[in-house]
Structure 1
Amino acid sequence: MAQVDGRTAAQPAKPPGIPGSTAVKEIPEILVDPRSRRRYLRGRFLGKGGFAKCYEITDLASREVYAGKIVPKSMLLKPHQKDKMTMEIAIQRSLSHKNVVGFHGFFEDNDFVYDSGSLLELHKRRKAVTEPEARYYLRQTILGCQYLHGNKVIHRDLKLGNLFLNDDMDVKIGDFGLATKVEFDGERKKTLCGTPNYIAPEVLGKKGHSFEVDIWSLGCIMYTLLVGKPPFETSCLKETYIRIKKNDYSIPRHINPVAGALIQRMLRSDPTTRPTIDELLNDEFFTSGYIPSRLPTTCLTVPPRFSIAPSTIDPSFRKPLTAINKGQDSPLVEKNVAPVKDEDMAPPESEPADCYLSDMMLQLTSLNAAKPSEKPVIRLDEAEDPACNPIFWVSKWVDYSDKYGLGYQLCDNSVGVLFNDSTRLIMYNDGDSLQYIERNNTESYLNVRSYPSSLTKKITLLKYFRNYMSEHLLKAGANITPRDGDELARLPFLRTWFRTRSAIILHLSNGTVQINFFQDHTKIILCPLMAAVSYIDEKREFHTYKLSLIEEFGCSKELASRLRYARTMVEKLQNSKSGAIHIKAPV
C-alpha cells in the first residue's frame, strides 16, 4: 500500500463511498493480509488509473489510514505485467524521503494485489501558476528526485499527474510503475517508456538513456506550470514526437528570461549537456527569486495573495508588496532573498471575461444531447472521479437582498456578502482576516481590528449574516478546513447569483456554478475547468463525476434532469450582468 501523509489536499474530508456496482463489489470491504492476518477496511474511492483502483484503506488495529492501490490479478496474467509490478514494489519499498510517496507494504489474495490530488488537478483548475508557486513545487520535486538519483533510481515518468499533494501542500513523487534501477555506472536503458508530452528525445530515438530523462521531464513540468500547457503538446501524437525530436518549442515573451533560460538548459536535445539534478537548485531562478515556505490549500483553485492592487477605499490599507512577500519562515523576516518585482508576483493570466461559462455551456450541451439517463446499463460508479472534487462550494446562504445583499458561507467556514451595490466582503475562517472586493474587482486585505470607517456598516452587516447562519442554518456537504495563519491565502468570491421558484444559482469567481434545489434540498456543483459535476443527493451523500464519463456510462434520471436544468441556468448567467439578478417568474 502506498502511504500518503494524510488526506489529499484536493479532496473533501469525508465524502461518502461510491454507489455499488458489480465491479466494486468484487473488492471486499474488509481486506485481509493472508500472511500477517492484519485486517484493513476499504473506505472511500480515491481514483483510478490503468488497471488499478485506489481507495482509502484503514488498518483496523492501528487505525492508520493509507492510500491502497488495488490491482485485479486478471490484469497481471502476462509475465511482463507481473515483472513490472514486482519492480515497482521493489523500488518503492526501498525508498524513504519526505518528497516521495511512502510505502507501507503489499499483500495479495486469490483475486487481487493490494498495494492522490496531484499537480495535474491544480494545473487543470489554474492553468499557469505564479513564479513563486512554480519555485515551491519544483524545489520539492527536485529534492525528491535528488534522493531518487542518489539511490540509483530513474523515475522515467515524472509528470504533473505523478506529483501528489498532501494536506500541507507538500509534493510527493509517486507512481513508480516505469521506474528502473541503474545497476552500474554508465548503464544506458533501452526501454521505450514515458508519457508523450514529457518523453525525452533519447528515449524516442532508442539510443539508450539514463538519469537525464528525468531532467528533461522536469523541464517540461516547469514549462507547463509557468506557461499553462506542455512545451511540445499538439493534438496529434506523431506531431508531438516530431517536435520533441526537432526540439521545436517556444517560450512566450511574458515568461521571466531567468526562468526561460533554465527551461532551455533542461530541454537540451543532447542529454550530456543538461544540468544534473544536483545543479538545478543552484540556478538563478531559485537563488534570486522568492520561494514561499508553504502554500495555502486555496492555491488549488485561485492564485495566492502575492501582489496587492491599490485600494480606492483608503490608500493606507494597501499592504506594500515587500511586506507581504518577505520571509521564508516568517511573513515579516527576509533572509537572503532578492527584491521581488511586481510582474514576478502577479497571476500569469486572467480568467476569461465570462468566467468559463462558455466552456460550461459547451460541456452541458454535449452531455444533455447524449441523453445519459437512457443508457441501457447505467454504471455511475465508473463515472466517479474524486480527483475532480470541488475545493470550495457554498454551504449556507441567506437572502436579504431586499435591503442589503446575499450572505453566504463557504465550506471552509469563511463568510461572505455580495452587497446590492456589487461590492463584496469576505471574512476568513479565522474570524479576523477580511477581503474586500470593489465593483471593478480590485481586492483589498484588512482585518476586523483595523479598517477604514467607510466599511464599518458593511463589516457590521457581515457579522450579522455570519451569526444568523451559524445559529439557524444547517451546513451542506463535507467540510474542508484550510490551514490557519497563512498570509498568502485568497478565497474565491460570489460573482453573481439569482433565484427562481425551483432553486438558487450561485456563480463563484473561480468558475464554479452551484445550484441548490429548494424542494428536495439536493445540490449540484459544476466545475468547467475539471469538466465535472458534484451531486449532493437527498441523503446528503456527496459524489463527483466527470461529465465525459457520464456521457459514456450514463446516470440516473434524477441527476440527468438537474443537468438539463443547469444548462438553462448557465445560459441565464451568460446573459446576466455582474451582480445579483432576480427572476420572479417560474423557470
Structure 2
Amino acid sequence: MSSNAENDKKSIPDIIIDKTRNCSYQRLRFFGKGGFAKCYEIQHTGTKEVFAGKIVPKSMMTKSSHKEKMAQEISIHRSLSHNHVVGFHSFFEDVSNIYIVLELCKRRSMMELHKRRKAITEPETRFFMHQILEGVRYLHNNRIIHRDLKLGNLFLNDELHVKIGDFGLAARIEFEGERKQTVCGTPNYIAPEILTRKGHSLEVDIWSLGCIMYTLLAGKPPFETSSLKDTYKRIKECEYRIPSSLRKPAVEMIVMQLQEDPLKRPSVDKLLQHQFFTSGIMPAALPLSCLTTAPRTDQLEKLALQRRPLHQINSNDDGRCDEKFSVPNGLTESQSNRQHLLSLRQQLVKLLCSKRKNRLQVLTDELSDPAAQPLVWISKWVDYSDKYGFGYQLCDESVGVMFNDTSKIVMLANGVNVHFITREGQEIYLTMDDYPPELVKKMKLLSYFRRYMSDYLMKTGASAVVRESDGLSRLPHLHQWFRSTLAVIMYLTNGALQINFQDHTKIILCPLMQAVTYIDVEKNFRTFRFSTIEKYGCDEKLFNNLEYALEKLNSVLGMPAVTPMMSCS
C-alpha cells in the first residue's frame, strides 16, 4: 500500500469529534470508497445510532475547484429531505478531513443488484422505478438537476427502498429557462445535449431514468459498447435496440424518456401516470433475496392485491399475462451454473497469471470492497451422504438439504416456507404444514438436519428477521458439493463457489462480482475485487487458495489441470 494511503488511514481517527455540535462518532467498519472520499460506518457515541460517514482528506482537495464542488454538494444535499433521497444529517471538519454524516443504506446500491441479477422482472422494475421517479420529482420540484442518475447512485435500505444519493454533480436552476453548459455525467447514462454542448436542464435526468429502466429490464445499458467513442456516437444518434422480450407498456415508457430532443421528453409527473405502472403487478414490498435471485411471481400477485383490484393484475392491455420467472437466456439451471463456472475459471486464470511474480503483498482493509461481499454463503454444514444427503445452513439461517437422489429442499429462515427442487430442476413451493405425502420422509429429514445443526454446530451468520415479504423469497441453493483432502467445496446456484478449508478459513468466489471473500478463523470478512489483486498482488496464503480453487474448478468442469503459468505462456 502506498505511503499516502497509509497516511490517509492514520489521519482518520477511531473517535471522530464534531466540535460544532459537541458530539462524537466511533469509526466502525470500512464501507467503500469513491472519488476522493472513503466511507465508513460510524456510530454516534451518545445515541448509538449508526450512519454512513463520508470522509474526504483535505490533502486531496488541492484545487479551488475541488473545494467549490464539495461546498456545492453539501449545500444542495443538506437542503433536501425526502423518503427517496439519502438523508443528510450533518457535516463538519477537523485539521485533516471533511466529514459528511449520511443515512446508512446497508443494502448498497442498485449497481450491485444489477451485477448479481442482470435483467430483473417487470414487477421488481415497477417497484424500484416508482420510487426513483418519486425522488426525482422532489428534486425537480426544488429546481435541482441531479446530472448523475445511475444505478451506482441509487442506494437501498433494509426494506429495499430506493434512496437517491451522491450530489457531487448536482446543480440548481437559478432562473426560468436556464441551460447549464458543464459536460458531466457517466458515459452509459449521459444525455445527448450534454455531449453536444447545446445546454441542458432537468431533461437530462429524464434521459438517465430511461437508461436506468432499460438496464433493469434488459440487463445492460442501452448504448453500451466496448469503446467510449462508439457509446457517445450511439447516444448522439439515439441508436439503441429494445429486446423483443419487453412488453409494450415498458417499451413505450422507455422510448418516451430516450428522446433525442429534450423538449419531447415527458415530465416526471407524466411518467408516474404511465400505463407501465398500471398494466401489471406492483408489489407492495420485495424480499431481500431478490438482491441475488428473482422473487416468486406466484406470490407477487397476492401481495399486490393489497394495492390494486384483481382485474387490474390478471390481464394486460395487450392481452398477455405478466411475465414469469425464467433462467436468463433460456438456459437450464445446470447450463447457467456451468457458464458461471467457466467465467470464474477464466477470471482466475487471468488473475493468477497477472500477479504470479508479485504475490507477497498484504492487502489492507482500505483496498477491500465490502460492496462485493456475498449476500448468501453457507455458515454450517453436515455430511450425512452415506445415508441421506448433505445438509447446510445459509447465513440468514435458512436450511437446505441436497439428497443423495440429487433432489433438493430449502426451508426459509421464517421456518414456514419450503422450496423443493426436483431432480429435473422444477421448483415446487410448500410450507412446513402443507406438502404432498410423497415428501413426508424428506420433510422429516429437513427438520432433523435443522435441529442437528442448531444443537451441535457453532452458530454463525446473521439472525433472521421475518418480514411480510418473506413468502416472495427464492434463495440460491446448493447445486454441487464434494470433499477433498484439504477442504469441502460447495457451489451455489447464484454462481458462488465456497471452499471451507481444514484450518477453518474459507474463501467465497463470485464470478458476477469478480471478487473473492476471505473469511479468517475469527469469521472476519474481507472482500477483494480480482482487479485489485491483479494491480496490487496478494499474500501467499490467498494466492495458494486461489490456485487451489482453479485446480478444483478444472476438476468440476472436466478440463485439463492447466496451471496459470502454463496458460500464460
Contact residue 157 and residue 179 of structure 1 kept, 8 A: yes
* Counterparts of 2:288 and 2:203, CA distance in 1: 32
Code of the residue aligned with 2:165 in structure 1: it is: G
Equivalent of 1:37, from 7, 17, 22? 22
CA deviation profile, 1:20-59 (whole Å, cap 9, x unmatched): 9554222111111132231111111111111100000111
Aligned to 1:316: none
Structure 2 length-normalised TM: 0.91
Does residue 67 (structure 1) correspond to residue 52 (structure 2)? The answer is yes
Shift of 1:540: 2.1
Equivalent of 1:564, from 531, 547, 552? 547
Q: What SS is found at the alignment partner of 1:325?
A: helix
In the TM superposition, what are the counterparts of 1:372-383 in structure 2 within 5 Å?
374-375=358-359, 378-383=362-367
Aligned to 1:426: 410
Q: Summarize the Cα distance change of 1:43–1:119 in structure 2 as closer, same or farther, 3 Å threshold.
A: same
Aligned to 1:498: 482
* Counterparts of 2:516 and 2:360, CA distance in 1: 22
* Counterparts of 1:21 and 1:381, CA distance in 2: 11
* Counterparts of 1:353 and 1:557, CA distance in 2: 29
Aligned to 2:150: 159
Code of the residue aligned with 1:425 in structure 2: it is: I
* Counterparts of 1:430 and 1:382, CA distance in 2: 36
In the TM superposition, what are the counterparts of 1:299-314 in structure 2 within 5 Å?
299-306=290-297
Contact residue 430 and residue 484 of structure 1 kept, 8 A: no
Shift of 1:224: 0.4
Aligned to 1:399: 383
| Identical amino acids, percent of aligned pairs | 52
Aligned to 2:68: 83
Aligned to 2:224: 233
Code of the residue aligned with 2:275 in structure 1: it is: E
Aligned to 1:539: 522
Shift of 1:570: 1.6
Shift of 1:505: 0.4
Aligned to 2:473: 489
Aligned to 1:285: 276
* Counterparts of 2:47 and 2:545, CA distance in 1: 42
Q: What SS is found at the alignment partner of 1:326?
A: helix
Shift of 1:329: 6.4
* Counterparts of 1:259 and 1:333, CA distance in 2: 21
* Counterparts of 1:521 and 1:96, CA distance in 2: 46
Q: Summarize the Cα distance change of 1:282–1:348 in structure 2 as closer, same or farther, 3 Å threshold.
A: farther
Number of aligned residue pairs: 541
Equivalent of 2:536, from 531, 553, 557? 553
* Counterparts of 2:225 and 2:301, CA distance in 1: 37
Equivalent of 1:246, from 231, 234, 237? 237
Does residue 106 (structure 1) correspond to residue 91 (structure 2)? The answer is yes
Code of the residue aligned with 2:233 in structure 1: it is: I
Aligned to 1:326: 302
Does residue 146 (structure 1) correspond to residue 137 (structure 2)? The answer is yes
Q: Summarize the Cα distance change of 1:364–1:483 in structure 2 as closer, same or farther, 3 Å threshold.
A: farther
Shift of 1:94: 0.6
Structure 2: state its 5+ residue gaps: 560-569
CA deviation profile, 1:518-541 (whole Å, cap 9, x unmatched): 1x1000111110001111112321
Shift of 1:267: 0.3
Aligned to 2:566: none
Equivalent of 1:339, from 290, 293, 315? 315
Equivalent of 2:492, from 505, 508, 522? 508
Aligned to 1:310: none
Q: What SS is found at the alignment partner of 1:407?
A: strand
Aligned to 1:118: 109
* Counterparts of 2:173 and 2:422, CA distance in 1: 58
* Counterparts of 1:521 and 1:495, CA distance in 2: 22
Q: What SS is found at the alignment partner of 2:443?
A: helix
CA deviation profile, 1:463-513 (whole Å, cap 9, x unmatched): 111111001111345556563552211111100100011100000011111
Equivalent of 1:470, from 447, 450, 454? 454
Q: What SS is found at the alignment partner of 2:488?
A: strand
Shift of 1:542: 1.2
Which structure has the highest helix share of the two?
2
Does residue 48 (structure 1) correspond to residue 24 (structure 2)? The answer is no
Q: What SS is found at the alignment partner of 2:130?
A: helix
Equivalent of 1:137, from 128, 131, 139? 128
* Counterparts of 2:494 and 2:235, CA distance in 1: 34
Structure 1 length-normalised TM: 0.89
Code of the residue aligned with 1:100 in structure 2: it is: V
Measured on the aligned residues, the alpha-carbon RMSD in Å equals: 2.0
